[in-house]
Amino acid sequence: MPRKTPLLPLAVRRGLIQLGTDIQRARRRRRLTAEMVAERAQITRPTLRRAERGDASVGLGVYATVLWVLGMGDRIGQLAASETDVVGLSMEDERLPQRISSGPRAPRRSGAAAAESASSANEQPLRKNARRPREAP
């Protein structure tokens, strides 16, 4: 009994067929036989034939390995690259918080400036996690 191919949207199906056709053309342009590519990809010739037809039941790893054998493996990492994800980037931009300031803030004093102002008021600057001495009653 033959394997059932999963039901796919038409655009996905067409994309797989195009991928298979492109793989077959790339193999032929390189003058490689199906047997040579199948051997290098460590798959059977019938599996390569199914991949070149765009069969959806062929695993992604097979497609990736065949592309690597053909010298096109570097493109695999760019399939869902965030730089080219127009919809995702626009949705992310919509969710960014709109920052509204209530006015200019006073600049934060550095540790040396804070210590100087504390010593000028006859107080010892507090160290981090230090306790203040209790005053006598």
The DSSP letter of residue 81 is: -
CATH number at residue 19: 1.10.260.40
- The token pair that represents 81 in the structure block: 């690259």
* Residue 30 belongs to some domain of the structure: yes
Using an 8 Å Cβ cutoff, are 58 and 50 in contact?
yes
User: Domain containing 34: what range?
Assistant: 10-78
Residue 69 domain-assigned (yes or no): yes
Instruction: Inform me whether the pLDDT recorded for 1 exceeds 60.
Output: no
pLDDT tens, 85-102? 888 888 887 776 666 666
CA atoms within 13 A on the CB side of 124: 7
Q: Please give the tally of structural domains in the chain.
A: 1
Task: Let me know if residue 85 belongs to a domain.
Answer: no
- The tokens for 24 are 């077959």
Evaluate whether 62 touches 51 at the Cβ level (below 8 Å): yes
Q: What is the DSSP letter of 27?
A: H
| Structure-block tokens of residue 130 | 């230090």
Q: Evaluate if residue 10 carries a pLDDT over 90.
A: yes
Decide if 26 is inside a domain: yes
- pLDDT value, residue 113: 59
Model pTM? 0.62
